[in-house]
Amino acid sequence: MKIAVLGTGMVGQAHAAKLSELKHDVTVGTNDVDKALARTEPGRMTEAFGVWAKQHPAVKVATFAEAAKDAQLVIEAISADAVIDVLSAIKDQLDGKVLVDITNPLDFSQGTPPRLTVSNDDSMGETVQRTLPQTKVVKAFNTVNARIQVDPKSLGSGDHHLFMAGNDQAAKDETVKIAKAYGWQNILDLGDIKSARGLEMVFPLWAEIYAKLGSAVFNYKIVSQEGI
């Protein structure tokens, strides 16, 4: 499948590498291709994109608009402060497509842990869906670290949960296919895009656990009498 991964950070790199390994035709989207490819300084937890791109020659790199134009499915992993501007500018290229939104609405302006920019009665997932009314937005993967998103078995058994939310069932079915190909066994569909509120409000708990464990490589397992 032709897949666009919008974002050059650790999430974009993780999904693009895994999807390419799974033999999809992958294009990473960025603001400025030359600038992205010229990066040689690694981030705090990320390979420098220029170095990463050389290590993944099968993955193409294009502007956000070019990457989205021919894609059959779009994975979006853009910083919260930029995502709505970026998506608004390429709205036409996203019409009718499935867009998997991984963005957590984080504001680092007051230090760490970051605050949520939206919560309780709205969410980034809903904001993305309102911005792109013709696009089938699925909120998924945002509750775990990039490494676990694409390799749930890196935690051992893989017996833990991925959550998703979205208005379009066929779009969620497509997302489930991708998640299963990554190795996810337990996928809980929480309902329509309003459920993105809960998925994004997981972040403060995630940050507490991260601080306690000193590691981002963990996840949640839902245990229920209903036999989930």
Ligand X SMILES: NC(=O)c1ccc[n+]([C@@H]2O[C@H](COP(=O)([O-])OP(=O)(O)OC[C@H]3O[C@@H](n4cnc5c(N)ncnc54)[C@H](OP(=O)(O)O)[C@@H]3O)[C@@H](O)[C@H]2O)c1
List residues binding ligand X (CB under 6 A): 7-12, 30-32, 36, 77-82, 86, 102-104, 106, 142, 145-146
Q: How far is the CB of 37 from ligand X (least distance, A)?
A: 10
C-alpha distance across the termini of the chain, in Å? 31
Q: What is the C-alpha separation between 8 and 29, in angstroms, rounded?
A: 7
- Measured from the CB atom, is 7 or 166 closer to ligand X? 7
For residue 221, what are the contacts with CB-CB under 8 A and spacing of at least 6?
A: 159, 160, 161, 186
**Cβ-based nearer residue to ligand X, 7 or 152:** 7
In this structure, are residues 49 and 83 in contact, taking their beta carbons and an 8 Å threshold?
no
HSE-CB at 65 with a 13 A cutoff on CA atoms is 7
CB of 228 to ligand X, least distance (A): 22
CB of 210 to ligand X, least distance (A): 10
CB 197 → ligand X: shortest distance, Å? Answer: 15
Q: How far is the CB of 12 from ligand X (least distance, A)?
A: 5
Q: Which of 187, 9, 18, 171 is nearest to 94 (CA)?
A: 171
Which is nearer to ligand X, 170 or 217 (by Cβ)?
Answer: 217
Handedness of CA 186, 9, 104, 213 (dihedral sign): positive
Compare residues 12 and 125 and give the one whose CB is closer to ligand X.
12
Q: Six-digit token pair at 118?
A: 């939206």
Closest to ligand X by CB, 15 vs 96, is 15
